[in-house]
Amino acid sequence: MSKFLLSKTLNTRDLGGYSVGSGKITNYNMFIRSDVPLQISNDDIELLLEKNITTILDLRSDDEVQIKPCAFKDNKNFQYHHCKIHGDGNLPKGVEFVPVSYFEMVDEQKTILNIMRVLSKVKGGSLYHCTAGKDRTGVISALLLLLAGVSKSDILDDYETSEVYLSSMLQQFCKINKNIDINIITPKREYMDKFLDMFQEKYNSVEEYFYQIGLSHTEVMALKNKLIDCVIS
C-alpha cells in the first residue's frame, strides 16, 4: 500500500506495491482508491495528469452525488463516471451485518459488472471513490487485489489501513451522530475477512465471479494486465 497524496482527501492510496509472488508486485498508478475528493488543487490535477490517471469513478448513491458533487465531475481533463454500488452506502443495522452488506454489494452483480467493465476499458490509471473510501471502495479494492493474486493477509491489511487515516474523522462523526455505533463504521479486519470467506464459499474465485457476472475473457485479462505486468492472455 502506498499513500497517494492529494491535498484535500484523507484516505487516498495506490493499490500498487503488493506482492503477487515470483518477485512481482502490483503496478503503481493504475488503481487509486480514495475518499470523496470534494476539492482539488492545481497541484492535485498536475500530479494525476503526470501519472496518466485521468478516469474517475464515483461509487456513491444518486443523493450523495447530488448533495456533495465530486470535484472532478466537470473537469475536462478527466473522464468522470458515476457508477453507484448496490446498497447506496446505507449503514448496516449492526456490526454482524457489515460483512453481509459487503457480500450484498457483489452478489447483486449488475453494479459490479458496470464498474469492472469501465475499469477494464479505460486507458491509463483510474481513481475510484465512495464517501470515506473504506466500504464500497474497500470491496472494489479487494476484488482487484484478489484478481492480481495478492494474499488474503495483504488484502486485509489494505482494508484495515483506512482506520489509520479515518480514525479522527469517524470519532468526530459519532460525536455529532450519537445514535451511530462507531464499531459499525470502523473498518475492522474481521469484517473484510468474513466477507472474503462468504465470497469464496459462493463464487470459489474472483475469476469465476467475473465471468459469471458477465465480464468477457478480454475484459478480465485487461484488468489483470493493468494490475500486473506481462500477464499472458
Task: Please name the residues in contact with 55: beta carbons below 8 A apart, sequence gap of 6 or more.
Answer: 78, 79, 81, 118, 119, 122, 124, 125, 126, 127
Q: Mutual orientation of helices 110-121 and 206-213 as an angle, nearest 10°?
A: 100
Task: Please name the residues in contact with 50: beta carbons below 8 A apart, sequence gap of 6 or more.
Answer: none
Q: What is the reported pTM?
A: 0.95
Region of 41 (left: φ > 0; alpha: ψ -120 to 50; beta: rest) is beta
What pLDDT, in 10s, does the model give residues 66-98?
Answer: 999 999 999 999 999 999 999 988 999 999 999
What pLDDT, in 10s, does the model give residues 170-207?
Answer: 999 999 998 899 999 999 999 999 999 999 999 999 99
Any idea what the Cα angle at residue 149 is, between residues 200 and 152, rounded to 5°? 55
**CA dihedral sign of residues 123, 129, 135, 138:** positive
Confidence of residue 21 (pLDDT cuts 50, 70, 90): confident
